[in-house]
């Protein structure tokens, strides 16, 4: 793994088969990618009789957003021979309706972090009509379970 790499795969099924698809860790394309990590707070909020706000924070989870200005439909191979998945493979991961594992390689002292996530539906806009398509405005949201 290299610094900045993001990998996705079906949790608890690193190498296996779902229907006719073999699932292995997939390297998410870094080209044109913006990666955002944000918190989601689960809390209960109520006002007391004197209108004072009381907040009980139950838990905080992470939401990972991968935004692409442009993304290819098909998988590609980088210069080091690694397969980088395109939009079609990301849609396949969503269609599997399984818990996914995301591996993020930060590098340095932070190292590698791993989370189990659920992928939200993916919106996409087709930019070029060709066999695999070129897509823009793609945003992939992964919420920690």
Q: For 12-30, how does the pLDDT look when each residue is reduced to its tens digit (9 = 90+)?
A: 764 444 444 545 677 887 8
**Each residue's pLDDT tens digit, 95-112:** 989 999 999 999 889 899
pLDDT digits (tens, 9 = 90+) for 58-90: 999 999 999 988 888 888 888 888 888 888 889
In order of 9, 23, 32, 121, the CA distances from 14 in angstroms are 6, 6, 27, 22
Q: Where are the alpha helices (DSSP H) in the chain?
A: 87-95
Q: Give pTM, 2 decimals.
A: 0.78
Please name which of 116, 109, 141 lies closest in space to residue 3, comparing C-alpha atoms.
109
* Residue reference for tokens 């290299």: 2
Predicted local confidence at residue 136, as pLDDT: 84
Determine the Cα–Cα distance for residues 115 and 16; give it in Å rounded to an integer: 20
């Amino acid at each position: 793994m290299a610094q900045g790499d993001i990998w996705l795969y079906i949790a608890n099924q690193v190498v296996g088969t779902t229907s006719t698809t073999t699932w292995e860790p997939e390297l998410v394309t870094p080209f044109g990618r913006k990666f955002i990590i944000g918190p989601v707070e689960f809390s209960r909020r109520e006002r007391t009789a004197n209108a004072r706000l009381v907040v009980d924070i139950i838990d905080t989870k992470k939401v990972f957003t991968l935004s692409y200005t442009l993304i290819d439909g098909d998988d590609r191979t980088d210069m080091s021979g690694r397969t980088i998945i395109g939009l079609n493979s990301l849609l396949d991961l969503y269609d599997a309706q399984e818990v996914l594992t995301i591996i993020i390689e930060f590098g340095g002292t932070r190292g590698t972090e791993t989370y189990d996530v659920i992928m939200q539906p993916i919106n996409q806009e087709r930019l070029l009509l060709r066999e695999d398509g070129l897509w823009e405005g793609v945003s992939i949201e992964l919420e920690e379970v």
